[in-house]
Amino acid sequence: MLVTRQKVLRRFWYPVMPMAMLEDGPKPFTLLGEAIVLFKGAEGKPVALADRCCHRTARLSRGFVEDGNIVCGYHGWTYDCTGRCVRIPQNTDAAIPANAKVPAYHCESRYGYAWVALEDPLMPIFELTEAGDPGYRQIDQFYEVWNCAGLRLMENSFDMAHLSFTHKGTFGPKNHVPRKMTMDVSDWGLETYVETPVTNPAIARSVVGSDAEETVRIMRGTWFLPFSRRLAISYPNGVRHTIITNATPIDDGSSMVVQWCYRSDSEDEVPAKDIIAFDRAVTNEDKYILESTDYDACIDTTRRVEFHMDSDRPGLVMREKLLKLLRAHGEDEVHG
């Protein structure tokens, strides 16, 4: 799926950068092929503008922030959070031209990240029940580029057939079919419930809270259209581990994987570094496979559940819902 050619995808929120990265000045990012700059404006709120000065086209991300505005590092042209030029140092007497401005984008801070929508969003940023709940701690895990499409990563997140093979080094079950799997479809996503026995190697035992060689994992997955997923895992000892994974689309062939998790235990019980180490091992297994897949394969809704088994049903639903969304917004030609 060629995300840069599907215009409706510009109308969704994407987490593009940890807020902490903006502490020391503006930072560049490419979202759906658009070069943008992020910085902290007035009162520490994030701002997203086109990363291009309207004077001599220099990257604004190579400038600096002053009094909540961004200053171009080339000639000092200064822009406010709306993208309007408010100062031209060399032009002290004349009024600033009305067309001296750069495009501004929707930008909000949520869950410790700066979120951007390039056009008027169709939906608000999704709610997470664990956020702000004193019974959970948030652990920021990964912020890294993967050379794969967001749809591929989302399909993989709900694909139970790959666990025994891709994840045989971490928790892959011996049985290729889950004990139980159900799915409910909503207007803007889907939810799954899975019970499956999994192996429990040494690297997983402190995180899972069990020394048994095999445990039963209960997983509740939620897909937020287009490229975000919540996976709530219940372990046998009662600990809850919720993983939030976002495949923020950089361009057609790459995504920024933004992932954090919530845990219902404490740092004294299981250190964050151990949790990150285990999820890193699992994630690396996925990355190794997903970076070998094609990013430009067409959305194919003719694939049959009977051939791909029930484990492929979430992926089929994702494709159908994306296709329906694109056509509902006038995109009769689906690119890739």
pLDDT digits (tens, 9 = 90+) for 187-213: 888 999 988 888 878 877 888 888 888
| Residue 202: predicted pLDDT | 83
* 165 neighbors 295 (Cβ within 8 angstroms): no
Mean of the pLDDT values across residues 84-93?
90
pLDDT greater at residue 196 or residue 82: 82
Q: CATH no. for residue 94?
A: 2.102.10.10
| Residue 191: predicted pLDDT | 93
pLDDT in tens, 133-147: 999 999 999 999 999
Consecutive H or E run containing 5: none
> Quick check: helix, strand or coil at residue 76?
coil
Q: Which residues contact 6 (CB under 8 A, 6 or more apart)?
A: 326, 331, 334, 335
Is 170 a member of any domain?
Answer: yes
Q: How far is residue 248's CA from residue 335's CA, in Å, rounded to a whole number? A: 18
Q: Which domain holds residue 85?
A: 3-117
Confidence grade of residue 306 (pLDDT, cut at 50, 70, 90): very low
Could you tell me if 312 and 189 lie in one domain? yes
| Residue 308: predicted pLDDT | 45
Could you tell me if 305 and 206 lie in one domain? yes
| Residue 45 per-residue DSSP state | -
Domain boundary among 82, 117, 152: 117
Amino acid identity at 234: S
Is 205 a member of any domain?
Answer: yes
42: tokens are 């007035």
Nearest to 176 by CA among 193, 191, 159: 159
Confidence grade of residue 310 (pLDDT, cut at 50, 70, 90): low
Confidence grade of residue 168 (pLDDT, cut at 50, 70, 90): confident
Q: CATH no. for residue 228?
A: 3.90.380.10
| Residue 305: predicted pLDDT | 47
Domains in the chain, number: 2
Q: Does this model's pTM top 0.85?
A: yes
| Residue 49: predicted pLDDT | 98
Residue spans of alpha helices (H) in the chain: 150-157, 163-166, 202-208, 272-290, 305-308, 313-328
* 86 neighbors 68 (Cβ within 8 angstroms): no
66: tokens are 């002053």
Is 336 a member of any domain?
Answer: no
pLDDT in tens, 3-57: 999 999 999 999 999 999 999 999 999 999 999 999 999 889 999 999 999 999 9
